[in-house]
Amino acid sequence: MEVNERGFSNKALEDFDLIDRAVLEKDQQAFATLMKRYKKAVYFMILKMIRDADDAEDLTMEAFAKAFKNLHKFKKDYTFSTWLFRIATNNTIDFIRKKKLKTMSLNTTMSDDSGNSVTIDVEDDDNNPQDEFIKSQRIEMVRVFVDKLPAKYRKLVQLRYFDELSYEEIAQELEKPLGTVKAQLHRSRELLYEIAQGKERHI
């Protein structure tokens, strides 16, 4: 098998199988497994870049939504984890530039599934055509999941992800305490993950 000859790890090969099932068979559990495998790693990578837990949670959700939305474009030229980390990194860089945040460093180094060092150079801007779809527009959340949220959470997600309001602006818009908005947005993200994993339940 070609991918074996190219030295992909067993985990990477399992990811390829999951991607095939997710794309070709619309297998919900395949999406859930991919998310479960990499959610924590993506979150901590983003947290290192922006040092804000709330925003890191948001950007983690965005990264998976963007990856799953574009999963049919994934080519098995490199591991899924490398592709996902690059989506997450570029999405976070867009966020940093938009918010003009100060960070320690935008250059990120990680290890792929084979243990090889992967350096993501963020200075390439728009030179890589493979990334054009990543930077072409602000994240569009997976609406099929959002539509399954209870109404009070759906409104919060709408304001945060579609209208791109800050936590403070959402609190003002809904006339709720900032702490309540943060707590409910955290809960809405948990629900989105549960829905994505087929664990819908009545709230």
Hey, what are 34's tokens?
A: 């991919």
Give the domain extent around 184.
Answer: 141-203
Domain boundary residue among 109, 137, 165?
Answer: 137
Helices marked H in 6-150 = 10-24, 28-50, 53-69, 80-99, 132-135, 143-146
pTM: 0.61
Same domain, residue pair 22 and 80: yes
The reported pLDDT for the residue numbered 199 is 58
Average pLDDT, the chain: 75
What pLDDT, on a 0 to 100 scale, did the predictor assign at position 180? Answer: 92
Per-residue confidence (pLDDT) for residue 126, from 0 to 100: 42
What is the CATH classification number for the domain harbouring 85? 1.10.1740.10
Domain termination residue (choose one: 105, 137, 169): 137
Q: Assign residue 190 the CATH number of its domain.
A: 1.10.10.10
Q: How many Å apart are CA 95 and CA 54, to the nearest integer?
A: 13
42: its two tokens: 């993506």
Determine the pLDDT at residue 26. Answer: 81
Radius of gyration of the chain (CA): 17
Same domain assignment for residues 124 and 149? no
Same domain, yes or no, for 129 and 150?
no
Positions in the chain whose pLDDT score sits under 50: 1-5, 102-108, 111, 118-138, 202-203
The total domain count for the chain is 2
* Confidence (pLDDT) at 177: 92
The verdict on 16 and 28 lying in the same domain is yes
pLDDT score for 41:
92
Do residues 64 and 39 make contact, with C-beta atoms less than 8 angstroms apart? yes
Both 130 and 166 in a single domain?
no
